[in-house]
Amino acid sequence: MNSVLQKFDMTGRSAFVTGGGSGLGLGYAEALAENGAKVTLTGRSKENIEAEAARMRDLGWDVVARQLDVADAVDTRKAIEEHVARNGSLDAVFANAGIGDGPGFWNAAAHERNPAGSIENLTDSHWAKIIDVNLNGTAYTIAEAARAMKALGKPGSIVVTSSVASTKTFPTIATAYMASKAAVSHLVRQVAQELAEFGIRVNAISPGMIVTNIGGGYLANPEARKAMGSFVPMGHMGEVHQVKPLALFLASDASDFMTGVELPIDGGVLLGTFK
C-alpha cells in the first residue's frame, strides 16, 4: 500500500494550467512542478509566462510556456494537443483563467451605492468580456481536456477555479463576474457526472478573498487588503501559497475518489459575519 504522502507525488505526470501568468494559476503551476509534474504554463501575456517558466526551470522544474487566450476554442484545442504531443500524457488540467472587470453596485469604502456597477448600466461589451473568458473559456478548456483524456484512455483530473461568489452575493463585485462563477460551478457538477465513468474527475476550487492581480491590481494597496480582510472571519485576506496545497490535492491521486465537488478556501467568508 502506498503511503499517504506518495499519493501527492506528481512525478512522471503532466499538467496544463490556464491563466498561469500570475496569482492562483501561477501558484498551481508551482505546486505541481515542485512535486514532479511536467507543466505547460499558459496565459495571454507571452512575455510574462515565458519569464515565469524560465524562473521555474532555473529551480530545476520541467515547465514550458505557451501563449493562450482561452476564449479562443480552436487555439485551446491546439495548445492541449501540443501538450500531449510533448509529454505523451495529460494527467491534470487547471481551467483557471478568469477576469474580474468592473465594480459592483456598492462602494464599501464610501459606504454608498455605486451607479457604475448597477444592473441598468450593464453594457453588452462588459457582459460579453466576462462571460467569454470566465465561462466560455472554462467550458472550452474542460471540453478539450476531456477529449484528450478520453483519447489517452487514462484517468485524469480537471480542476476549475470558481469562487465563493458562485453561491454568495457580494455587492462590491461586478454582477457579470458573479453570474459567470455561478455558471462555472454548475458546469463542474454537470461535466463531473458525465465524465466519471471514464475515470476523469472534475472538481472546483472556490477561493474567497485571495490577494492576486485580479481586478487590475487593486489589492496591491495594503489599505485595500485591510478593508477587504475586515469581511473575513479569520481577520485577513488569504495568500496564494495557502491555496497551493489544495491544488496539489485535487490534481493528484490523493483525491482519486472525489468528483463534482467545490471546495471553498475562504477564511470563513461563507459563514457570514457576526459583528
Q: Which residues are catalytic?
A: 177
Cell (9 digits) for 132 = 467569454
Cα(245)–Cα(146) distance, integer angstroms: 24
Cα(163)–Cα(180) distance, integer angstroms: 10
Question: 44, 67 in Cβ contact below 8 A?
Answer: yes
Cα(242)–Cα(265) distance, integer angstroms: 9
How many Å separate Cα 253 from the centre of its chain? 19
Cα(234)–Cα(210) distance, integer angstroms: 13
Q: What's the one-letter identity of residue 189?
A: R
Q: What are phi and psi of 64, to 5 degrees?
A: -125, 155
Question: 88, 12 in Cβ contact below 8 A?
Answer: no
The C-alpha R_g of the chain, in whole angstroms, comes to 18
